[in-house]
């Protein structure tokens, strides 16, 4: 989950920077480039979220079990319930620290989807004008790459819902889409 967020954010930042280099060279013909700006903000927010999310070893360190009553062995169900409780506690503690960034990330995800659609329509409408081949191809590549990133992000979130049990997946999906109802 964290690697997908990091890789997607780095890819968005890299594509935006490459697009900006082309924009700096062909400013006159790449007016719709600024519609990609939500991807830049989303990439920065994604990196910030990645840096602040706990790593797996930090989750294990944060698990604390109550003292076992007199050293009696505990069953699998007891361990499962304690793990579930501790992971939910750690999740709520960590998500409360980064909730603002997660919500900004979610808002810019929605804005980026709309901007990509409008940018695609604008580019497609003016496609084929003589003398603008490089600019059109660059913009079309960028818009298709950003749309692919958005689609990959959405599909990944939906597949996580089926990967985990319901009591875990409801938190993960809400964190990905930054709804925050459960928080």
In a domain, 183, yes or no: no
Dist. CA 90–CA 68, nearest whole Å? 21
3-class SS at 132?
Answer: coil
Dist. CA 95–CA 49, nearest whole Å? 10
In a domain, 68, yes or no: no
Taking alpha carbons only, the member of 112, 141, 153 closest to residue 18 is: 141
Dist. CA 140–CA 133, nearest whole Å? 10
In a domain, 179, yes or no: no
In a domain, 148, yes or no: yes
Tokens of 3: 């690697």
Give the domain extent around 90: 2-60+75-155
In a domain, 65, yes or no: no
Q: Kindly list the averaged pLDDT for each block of 10 residues, start to end, along the chain of length 183.
A: 85 92 80 89 92 75 61 73 77 79 87 92 83 82 92 81 72 59 45
Q: Residue 175's pLDDT is what?
A: 62
In a domain, 160, yes or no: no
In a domain, 142, yes or no: yes
Structural domain tally of the chain? 1
Q: Residue 148's pLDDT is what?
A: 93
Q: What DSSP element (H or E) covers 164?
A: none
Q: Residue 89's pLDDT is what?
A: 77
- Helix 2-25 to helix 133-163 angle (10° resolution) is 170
In a domain, 111, yes or no: yes
DSSP 99-144: HHHHHHHHHHHHHHHHHHHHHHHHHHHTTT-TT-HHHHHHHHHHHH
């Amino acid at each position: 989950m964290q690697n997908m967020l990091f890789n997607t954010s780095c890819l968005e930042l890299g594509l935006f920077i490459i697009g900006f280099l082309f924009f700096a060279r062909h400013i006159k013909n790449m007016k719709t480039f600024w519609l990609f700006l939500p991807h830049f903000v989303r990439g920065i927010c994604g990196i910030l979220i990645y840096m602040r999310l706990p790593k797996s070893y930090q989750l294990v360190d944060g698990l604390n079990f109550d003292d076992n009553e007199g050293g009696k062995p505990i069953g699998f169900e007891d361990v499962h319930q304690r793990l579930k409780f501790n992971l939910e506690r750690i999740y709520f503690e960590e998500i409360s620290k980064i909730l603002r960034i997660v919500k900004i990330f979610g808002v810019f995800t929605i804005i980026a989807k709309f901007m990509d659609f409008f940018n695609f329509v604008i580019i497609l409408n003016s496609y084929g004008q003589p003398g603008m081949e490089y600019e059109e191809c660059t913009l079309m590549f960028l818009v298709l790459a950003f749309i692919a990133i958005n689609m990959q992000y959405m599909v990944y979130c939906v597949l996580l819902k089926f990967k985990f049990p319901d009591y875990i997946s409801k938190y993960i999906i809400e964190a990905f889409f930054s709804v925050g109802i459960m928080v």
